[in-house]
Structure 1
Amino acid sequence: MIDITCYYEGRDLGCSYAPQGCSFKVWAPTASLVSLVLYKDSGHYNTQGLVTDHSNGHEMKMEKDRSGVWSSYYSGDLKGLFYMYKTEFSDGTVYYAVDPYAKAVSANGARTAIVDLLSTNPVGWDEDVKPPLCHPTDSIIYELHVRDFSAHGDSGMCHKGKYKAFTEIGLKDVHGNALGIDHLAELGITHVHLLPVFDYKTVNELQVDDSDTDTSVSLYNWGYDPQNFNVPEGSYASDANNPVTRIVEFKEMIQAFHRKGIRVIMDVVYNHTFTVEDGPFEPFVPRYFYRTDNAGRLTNGSGVGNEVASERPMVRKYIKDSVRYWAEEYHIDGFRFDLIGLTDTQTVKEITNELIEEVDHTLIFYGEPWTGGVTPLTHQTLKGTQKGERFALFNDHFRNAIKGDSDGWGRGFATGERGKELEIMMGVSGSIHDFTYSPSETINYVTVHDNLNLWDKVLTTEGLSQEAGLLNSGGGLFTHSYDNVGMNTADPYKSVNKRNILGSDTVRRTILANGIVLTSQGIPLFQAGDEMLRSKFGDHNSYRSGDLINAIRWDNKRRFRPLFEYYKGLIALRKSHSAFRMHTREQIEKHLDVLQCGGSVVAYRLRDHANGDIWRNIIIIYNGNMEEVEVEIPVSSSGWNIAVNDRAAGTQSMAMVFGDLVTVPKLSMMVLYEEKDAKPYPTRNIEIHYERPKGDYEGWNLWVWGKGMREHQVNFEGIRNGRAVAVIPALPGARQIGYIIRLNDWEKKDVERDRYIDLGTGKGDLQVIVKSSRNQWKRTS
């Protein structure tokens, strides 16, 4: 049995390099002997890209201390050499293994490389400045796979599929549209969330550039198959054979993002490893790093055969050390934890608290609050455990309410399901009554890399997937030839009116879905390419489907430019107005009022300069109906400015709404605002002088309607010259007012048909005389 009380507190595990010599330390408390093995090269690779023989190195026995750490010091400058640890156990088992704390490796992680990290810093690295971030809810996150970003032929980037693609600036297509990292800066996102960029197992780094379209397993993967947790992935480097190159180019990528005002979030996978026996931990402390059942068998909470035992002290330390290393050495700005339900809550709390307090108070942390199978872990980081803490979780309640299920026909508010209004309103409110204590604890999103992406999901719920030729499968199950056949016949945009992009129902549903996300309280996240109708051709699990399915098609920016502009406008709106980024539940409860929540309409108001916003009041309306609707809104003395409608989004007024009614087009959203010091609009008063025989006016009133005005009752204010007088304020822009004179609540009408007053284009007040039981009226002024 492993003595789990054996613990090492130091932060110097691995190789500590200096020109005069290197210190090597590894924790292997149950090993009977550990040796340091030095090599002059990375070894002999077989046809699978593996090095299987490590017996030709120079071996030196290491010394063990009471904490279970084996150490060795070797004098001289070892930069450029490689090393392994040879571990031997009492049962005769012998391993040659890469250092679990490796900072650099040879191609495919075959051997640990010795590098001088100072020499890997690009020019200006010490002056690298993180873009400002005042609060987590100021974040707007864009989820992206490194290779997808630049792999397609129309990307305009030279370094296709590489870290260096993000350093290419000034790129434009032939129509003048910005490409690459300039596109992201133009879009306005604050954070890019990169799918795993640590060294992962299933891509052969020596063959990855052989083909731009091959879908075989060896050339493409999302990266959720960890191998070396503290080393950048080599397939994204220009030279995987040089251990230094991937480090330098990774740092150059981070530097480029920061210069463009974009922070970087790293997707990390500490819940499992790709393999166990030849993985990063088993050769040092067998079974300690993995959870097992009572019979000693590996448990499978990850769904891939193993799960890392984060609750054990040295495992927890390893994860904390690793996250800290990425934050400090690579200037990473945040971390997204894969299947965080498999990481115990204490570990997650320690990571977030220690790094925020000791490394960078602007770091953000979030994760998936679920598992991939049954786990024996008691204190799982599931929904609710983030309440009152400093990390957020993916909000699947809100996600499902907006879009429905992930891969099927199931619908949500934006995809046509009725009865979802309350769930939408709860999500809009930062989920403070069902998911969080504060809005910074929820990641609001509709789709990410998993499952159907947004465009393909909408096509599916609309019954258009077959017409569009979607492939209806996933996980790289297509052969290369079948992919090409399918791609040649598929047209994901067949339903889009190319002359009226924003008028297409399918497009409007995608805008409504992410529009809800971008105007809700919490931290918004959306998937790369949503802003230009990215399709994965129906592949709901494209983790190894290759560039043909996954690569972003940059020509879509030109084709669907109005959609890009709409996203850009929504992002600018959120960034410019703090009312959308409240910090606490108390703020939300004080400043958010529900105006309507039913009939496939959600409308609410952010009032009284919420969170210090420069706008006095803001109204947000979502219409999930297939027809336009009239929505009642509070009357503003200065009128409401429209900043977002079904045709455009931004921060400037496109039109004005006066009165207490606004018409919202089908499948769309609207944002209206009231400025801080706006002057009251001039009203034009219409005086109705109503004359009845014998002066009998008891119980009589007016029922009126008009542009921007809901139907409502207007009472007579008094008697003047024997006539009852009522005043109707005419709103700016109104050309006609309708009215009926009635007794009480429709007991009787003076004249059966509706009457109208034509206001013309004048600006002065009007006086109208109406005589009982006569279908006439007289304008007197």
Structure 2
Amino acid sequence: MNSNYIEAEPVIETYEGNDLGLTYTAEFCVFKVWAPTAFTVSLVLYATGGHGITPQDGKVKDGGKILGMQRSEGGVWEIRVPGNLKGKYYMYRAVFADGSINEAADPYATAVSANGLRTAIVDLAETDPEGWDRDASPVLPHPADAIIYELHVRDFSAHQSSCLKHAGKFKAFTETGLRDAAGHALGIDHLAELGITHVHLMPVFDYQTVDELGTPGEEPASAVFTDYNWGYDPQHYNVPEGSYSTDPANPLTRIREFKEMVQALHSHGISVIMDVVYNHTYGLEKGPFQPLVPDYYYRHDQSGRLSNGSGVGNELATERPMVRKYIKDSLSYWASEYHIDGFRFDLMGLMDSVTMREITEELRLEINPDLLLYGEPWTGGDSPLATKTLKGVQRGKGYAVFNDNFRAALKGDSDGWGKGFATGEYGKEGAVASGVKGAIHEFTDAPVETVNYVTAHDNLNLWDKILATQGLRGEAGLPDLENGRLRGGGDLQAAVERANPYFAVDPEDVLENETVRRSLLANGIILTSQGIPFLHAGDELLRSKYGDHNSYRSPDCINAIRWENKKRFIAVFNYYKGLIELRRSHPAFRLHGRQEIERSLEFLRCDGGVVAYMLKNHAGGDSWSNIVVVYNANMEPVTQYLPEASGGWNIVVDHTHAGPEAFRQTDSGSIEIAGLSMMVLYDKYGEPEPRSKVVEVHYERPDGDYRGWNLWVWGTGIQDGQRDFQHMEDGHAVARIEVLPETSSIGYILRLNDWEQKDGAGDRFIDCSGSEEPVKVRVSDRRQADEGHADVVHGELSHSEGPLERSG
């Protein structure tokens, strides 16, 4: 397939309004649907959700009331229906010139009946839990401060050891105060105790393959359904998944309970990231798009066949205007209506780079400047898309990508016997060092453009992968699985109960076990590297999925988190907790920019199964003067020579303990690091130095259109390059630029996208000298003048006419 092929854009009307879907009031409802190629479109009103559940009297005839819609601008069909329609359902029925008739749910549906059969009419105000108007996202000062924890809603609470009443449901996150017999916190309190900043929820929008009216553990009523799924099979993008609600037949319940979950996590200081799947749909004919605008939403190859870059039969044509608009509208809806704090994009390589750029700019500028955005920079197969969002495309664009280079260097391959640095392979030290530096000399411009991880939901999880590299699958009795079933047939539950993934772990000395040590080393490197760390749920409990490398439709006995492991492996949990506390307490591990890393991070050793480096001179404004980190992937101890330190070195992490406080010291010029372990030391404590000062640029355009505009800056000493405008203030777009405290001036250029246009001629400079207060600059685009105008002042923003910033 020709990778440079660009599919011809269909000549078709487009719509720019923000009112597609249902607009509900108690007096009337307005319905709008984009279907430009339809001959005619009708609204069909129903009394029930189409799943056999009728009102209590059972006398309702539900043939549907058909109402003709009027065609308006941009290929939109609309109708205004008087009266309060709350509690009813609707579909769109489109007739095409060839005589074909398709009935479909609203692509912009925000509420649906069970299993998504029909679109529900609800008053969203009734779904807000008490105090929702006061719900606030936890503050994220900088993306480098994030620590992400990937979690499946059902896995979190499905096992009986969770002690959670609402097993497998959104509401399980609202249950607090639960503890095991030893007094250890469970559920949401466990997450807060661990110290992570963000929970990344695997797909929680309405997906197609789990029967929402079925009973967990029972065989699904239809071959279409499975009992369990990860959720990467989208049905309704703007509706929460019904199987996670306590009453899937009530369209309001799933919405309210989803909001309660978000509210509960926020109240515990944890932000919420949604895993979104805008690269493909589960199917076409029963999907949200094909029945109403045939073939428009999907990418095709040169032969006119559906492109299959997703590996599941189709891929969305994100480069087309109305597909791009749909994705942006959907993300805006989740961020505003549900207070979502970030998005992870599945197979982001299949999303064109322009769409990703516009998503990043517009969501931050219009919805939430602190949104965290990242995704998978690869595809699941060949695609004709020329502008794929692959590794490196994200440079300077404000979003991050998963670093599979680092992943492979640390563990080896994903499902087999292949080894990496932490699993017994020499020669990976250089690749590990590159990951430690945030891949700034690989494929990023800044460390916050990389998400560092060892394992995620797919492929073998960390414990099972290490067992595989050790050749211990057989001794652990792990079952032979295929598609969620025993390969030779039989009782999977019984097979799981016979297995013992922890057969070699001494309960009296857990941290001495080799598999434990390798797992702690792998994620210990992740938690002490530059970039955004990402953990898979349960790693801190030595979670096993019994060797299932693709558990997307395996039952709870494979996927559920065993909470009894917290008591059993409390030393492991405490080690993770200590590393996270160390990272959150010390900005040296959370450097913001490429120049800051190059100035502050120096490697001491990178060979023979050892990587050692120093974060020096109060890196990032840290209170510790110099920090040494050593990773030893050898089975035996190694000796590491230390830089000179007048007061000796304080140890905060070794093979027995991790945390932000020193628990032993050394005055020697060298230190022994135990086999398969890491060590963190610092020389002395001092008053933290100012990390940076801030330059705020307030950009004013007469047309009010800031789409695509950004700053190109240099001389900051922290992170040069592109800077986006992050929020609106008094009608101005505002960008915040960090500069070293001693910086006297920085240069900048105002540009559109990647140099498509510049606002003003020549380089410009901002005077940063003479004050520790934020420097605020107002830049006006005044086309009647030869140059844009800027007022530069320390402290409060100046609105008076003043001199131009210095130009060179």
Instruction: Return the TM-score normalized by structure 1.
Output: 0.84
Take 2:603 and 2:50, find their aligned partners in 1: how far apart are those partners? Answer: 66
Residue of structure 2 in register with 1:377 after alignment: 385
- Say yes or no: does 1:409 pair with 2:413: no
**Structure 2 segments unaligned to the other structure (5+ residues):** 1-7, 54-60, 688-808
Q: Secondary structure of the residue that 1:143 maps to in structure 2?
A: strand
Query: Where does 1:358-397 land on structure 2 (aligned, <5 Å)?
Result: 358-397=366-405
- TM-superposed deviation, 1:471: 2.0
Which of 10, 13, 24 is the equivalent residue of 1:17? 24
- Does the Cα contact within 8 Å between 1:151 and 1:212 map onto a contact in 2? no
Structure 1 residue aligned with 2:617? 608
Note closer, same or farther for the CA distance 1:674–1:18 as it changes in structure 2 (3 Å cut): same
Instruction: Give the C-alpha shift of residue 469 in structure 1.
Output: 1.1
Residue among 505, 515, 519 paired with 1:496? 505
Offset from partner CA, 1:589-631 (integer Å, 9 cap, x none):
0000100000100000001111111111111000000100000
Deviation at 1:209, TM superposition (A): 3.5
1:247 to 255, 267, 270: 255
The residue matched to 2:486 in structure 1 has which SS?
Answer: coil
Q: Distance in 2 between matches of 1:557 and 1:521?
A: 28
Q: Is the 8 A contact 2:144 2:591 kept in 1?
A: yes
How far 1:194 sits from its partner (Å)? 0.3
Residue matched to 2:535:
526
Aligned residue runs from structure 1 range 101-140, under 5 A: 101-140=108-147
Q: Secondary structure at the match of 1:67?
A: helix
Aligned equivalent of 2:85:
78
Change (3 A) 1:276 1:651: same
Alpha-carbon displacement from aligned partner over 1:420-470 (angstroms, at most 9, x marks no partner): 111111100011000211000000000000000000000000111110011
Residues 2 and 30 in structure 1, CA contact (< 8 A), matched pair in contact too:
no
Residues 613-651 of structure 1: CA distance to partner in whole angstroms, max 9, x if unpaired?
111111100000010000011021011110000001001
The question of whether the paired residues in 1 share the 8 Å contact of 2:69 and 2:79 is answered with: yes
Aligned position for 1:188: 195
Partner SS, residue 491 of structure 2: helix
Q: Look up the match of 2:640.
A: 631
Answer yes or no: is the 8 Å Cα contact 1:2–1:288 preserved in 2: no
Specify the code of the residue in structure 1 equivalent to 2:641: E
Q: Which residue of 2 aligns with 1:643?
A: 652
- Distance in 2, matches of 1:607 and 1:489, equals 51
1:244 maps to a residue whose letter is L
Residue by residue over 1:456-503, the C-alpha shift from the partner in whole angstroms, topping out at 9 and shown as x without a partner, is 000000111110011243431338843123113210001212111000
SS, match of residue 458 in structure 1: helix
Letter in structure 2 aligned against 1:587: E
Which of the numbers 97, 100, 106 marks the counterpart of 1:93?
Answer: 100
Q: Render the CA deviation track for 1:322-360: whole Å, top value 9, x for unaligned.
A: 011000000000000000000000000000110111111
After superposition, give the CA deviation of every residue in 1:543-582 in whole Å (9 maximum; x if it has no partner). Answer: 0001010000000001000000000000000000000000
Query: CA contact under 8 A between 1:468 and 1:492: conserved in structure 2?
Result: yes
Separation of aligned partners in 1, 2:483 and 2:314: 20
1:347 aligns with 2:323: no
Which whole-Å CA distance do the structure 1 matches of 2:318 and 2:202 have between them? 21
| Distance in 1, Cα, partners of 2:9 & 2:679 | 61
1: CA distance, partners of 2:115 / 2:378: 30
User: Which deviates further from its counterpart, 473-482 or 418-427?
Assistant: 473-482
**What does residue 446 of structure 1 align with?**
454
* Contact kept in structure 2, 1:137 and 1:581, CA below 8 Å: yes
User: What is the CA-CA distance between 1:215 and the residue it aligns to?
Assistant: 14
Alpha-carbon distance between aligned partners in 1 of 2:465 and 2:612, rounded to the nearest angstrom: 25
Aligned pairs for 1:730-749 within 5 A: none
Aligned partner of 1:151: which letter? A
Cα deviation, residue 295, structure 1: 2.8
Taking the TM superposition and a 5 Å limit, the aligned residue runs for 1:654-665 are 654-665=663-674
Q: Aligned AA for 1:601? A: V
**Does the alignment pair 1:539 with 2:535?**
no
Which string of whole-angstrom CA distances, capped at 9 and with x for unpartnered residues, describes residues 126-176 of structure 1? 000111110111000000000000000111100000000000000001110
Question: Of 166, 169, 172, which residue of structure 1 is paired with 2:176?
Answer: 169
SS in structure 1 at match of 2:22: strand
* Superimposed CA distance per residue, residues 380-414 of structure 1 (whole angstroms, 9 cap, x where no aligned partner): 00011011110000000000000000000000000
CA contact (8 A) 2:265 2:271 kept: yes
Alignment correspondent of 1:753: none
| Per-residue deviation, 1:45 | 3.9
1:476 to 477, 484, 498: 484
Paired with 1:4 and 1:238, the residues of 2 have a C-alpha distance of: 45
| Matched residue, 1:718 | none
Mapped to 2, the partners of 1:419 and 1:269 lie a distance apart of: 36
2:220–2:226: 8 Å Cα contact kept in structure 1?
Answer: no
- 2:591 corresponding residue in structure 1: 582
Please tell me the residue identity of whatever aligns with 1:276: L
Q: Which amino acid aligns with 2:469?
A: T
Describe the shift of the 1:31–1:5 C-alpha distance in structure 2 as closer, same or farther (beyond 3 A).
Answer: closer
Equivalent residues of 2:214, 2:220 under 8 A apart: no
Match of 1:271 in 2: 279
For 1:131 and 1:598, the matched residues in 2 are separated by 41
Against the structure 1 CA distance between its residues 548 and 199, is the aligned structure 2 distance closer, same or farther, given a 3 Å change threshold? same
CA distance change for structure 1 residues 101 and 91 in 2, over 3 Å: closer, same or farther? same
Structure 1 segments unaligned to the other structure (5+ residues)? 47-53, 679-781
Return 522-531 or 462-471, whichever deviates more.
462-471
Matches within 5 A, 1:690-701: none
Q: Secondary structure at the match of 2:74?
A: coil
Identity in percent:
59
By how many angstroms is 1:659 displaced? 2.8
Distance 1:565 1:391, change over 3 A: same
2:292 counterpart of 1:284: yes
Paired residue type of 2:481? S
Instruction: Choose which of 627, 643, 657 in structure 2 pairs with 1:618.
Output: 627
Q: Aligned to 2:571, which of 556, 562, 568?
A: 562
Query: Match of 1:94, as an amino acid?
Result: I
SS at match of 2:485: coil
Question: 1:437 is matched with which residue?
Answer: 445
1:335 aligns to what SS in structure 2? Answer: strand
Question: Quick check: 1:215–1:548 contact (8 Å CA) kept in 2?
Answer: no
Match of 1:426 in 2: 434
SS in 2 for 1:381: coil
Letter of the 2:46 partner, please give it: Y
- The 8 Å contact of residues 122 and 251 in structure 1, kept in 2 or not, is answered as yes
Moved more, 200-209 or 161-170: 200-209
Q: Do 1:631 and 1:662's aligned partners in 2 also have CA atoms closer than 8 Å?
A: yes
Instruction: Supply the distance in 2 between the matched residues of 1:336 and 1:287 (Cα, whole angstroms).
Output: 26
- 1:96 positional shift: 1.1
Whether the 8 Å contact between 2:454 and 2:522 is mirrored in structure 1 is: yes
The SS at the match of 1:351 is: helix
Q: CA deviation at 1:278?
A: 1.5
Residue of structure 1 aligned with 2:514, choices 499, 505, 508: 505
- Give me the whole-angstrom Cα distance separating, in 1, the residues matched to 2:410 and 2:141: 28
Q: Which amino acid aligns with 1:90?
A: A
Distance 1:283 1:677, change over 3 A: closer
For the aligned residue pairs, the C-alpha RMSD in angstroms reads 1.8
- Aligned with residue 150 of structure 2, among 136, 143, 152: 143
Give the whole-Å Cα distance in 2 for the aligned partners of 1:662 and 1:548.
Answer: 45
Match of 1:40 among 40, 47, 53: 47
Tell me if 1:310 matches 2:318.
Answer: yes
Amino acid paired to 1:297:
R
Q: Is the 8 A contact 1:367 1:392 kept in 2?
A: yes
Q: Which amino acid in structure 2 is aligned with residue 108 of structure 1?
A: N
Q: Is 1:69 the counterpart of 2:84 in the alignment?
A: no
Specify whether residues 578 and 393 from structure 1 end up closer, same or farther in structure 2 by C-alpha distance, changes over 3 A only.
same
Give the aligned length. Answer: 672
- What residue in structure 1 maps to residue 227 of structure 2? 219
Aligned with 2:66 (options 59, 68, 71): 59
Does the 8 A contact of 2:451 with 2:531 survive in 1?
A: yes
| CA distance in 2 between partners of 1:31 and 1:646 (Å) | 67
- Counterparts of 1:673 and 1:321, CA distance in 2: 48
